[in-house]
Amino acid sequence: MGNHVALPSLLELSQEDLEAIVVGLDQPAYRARQVWRNVYQRYAMDFESMTDLPRELRRRLGERIRVAPAESVGQQTSDDGSTTKSLLRLDDGELIETVLMRYDPFGERRARKTVCVSTQAGCAMGCVFCATGAQGYRRQLSASEILLQVLAQGRITAEEGSPLTNIVFMGMGEPLANYAATHEALTRLSDADGFGFAPRRITVSTVGLIPGIEQLARDHPQVSVAISLHAPNDALRTRLVPVPTATLGQLIAAARSHAKTTGRRTSFEYVLMAGINDSPEQARELAMRLRGLNCHVNLIPINPSAGVVGERPSQAATMRFLEQLVEAHIPATVRVEKGRDILAACGQLRGDREEGTAPG
């Protein structure tokens, strides 16, 4: 990986830090603003591509700092072109995944390009149906390693001629178990001088860490929250999500509090598994729990993967579950799936790479 491993990443720096480096090279301060714009608005991944800077300055900056604190070691695009999954190797050799999903216009929705980012290498939550959970927890990601994923996918969309529109913290790991880095990344993502994303276009998914949900409401009230339920009762949820988080009653109370504080609708995620949590009776039980709450249920038929529990339900079973929720006046949809042919579910590409089977 060469000598660049020891160099700090520009993504770790404030504008003031960068300006100090540039001025220390006997260059005018405005050059730092040019570098900043190249990275955060044009998604430049290296100094060589910043052609509005003098060549000598690009060379000298490259001796002191780097842009990207990782290297790309694999990329796959689905057959229909809607999904690109990238595998990144960090300085210590850890592999993380990030996914770009392209959505065509639908109804009143405009075309979207959404990046799904990881916040941990692995995950400690241990959800029995999740490929990342099956691989165990490695370490927290830094804010710069989270931002890198947005930069890498933004580079792809820039080359395609249209920008990223949405960001979801739904990749590997539990974002609220890495709150400091998640908070710092959200701040830079929504900063007008940073990536400049509207907070309403960012969603943070959590398995249900209530202190983190409460802190997120205070720090980023316009960022959407998605709470992973996966079961209509505590007995089943404890089997599926073995790490103690909170009871369903406590989670739903936290969702009510979040909605009251922020005015934002809460999303609930529910991975459907055949014969485990997909019966009409379970749908009615879930609807009873969510009655009167400003929410939306996102149903996700499981992507089966090696080492995880759960088989994919039939389309008929999925639609029956959806119909029960809708009849009970609970807003719900089945997630539009992306990238099943390229192992786009969290942890699948990394798992295959570590077993030596993923294409590079």
Catalytic residue ranges: 97, 346
What's the rounded Cα separation, in Å, for the pair 232 and 275?
Answer: 14
> What burial letters (b/e) apply to 233-265, b meaning 16+ CB within 10 Å?
eeebbeebbebebbebeebbebbeebbeebebe
Using DSSP, state whether 248 is helix, strand or coil. Answer: helix
Query: How far is residue 51 from each of residues 41, 47, 55, 57, 360, measured CA to CA in Å?
Result: 14, 8, 8, 11, 30
- Under a CB-based contact definition with an 8 Å cutoff, are residues 278 and 286 in contact? no
223: DSSP letter: S
What's the rounded Cα separation, in Å, for the pair 114 and 102?
Answer: 7
What's the rounded Cα separation, in Å, for the pair 158 and 162?
Answer: 6
Beta carbons within 8 Å of 278's beta carbon, 6+ residues apart = 272, 313, 317, 318, 321
Q: How many CA atoms lie within 13 A of 349 on its CB side?
A: 30
Helices (H) and strands (E) in the chain, counts: 12, 12
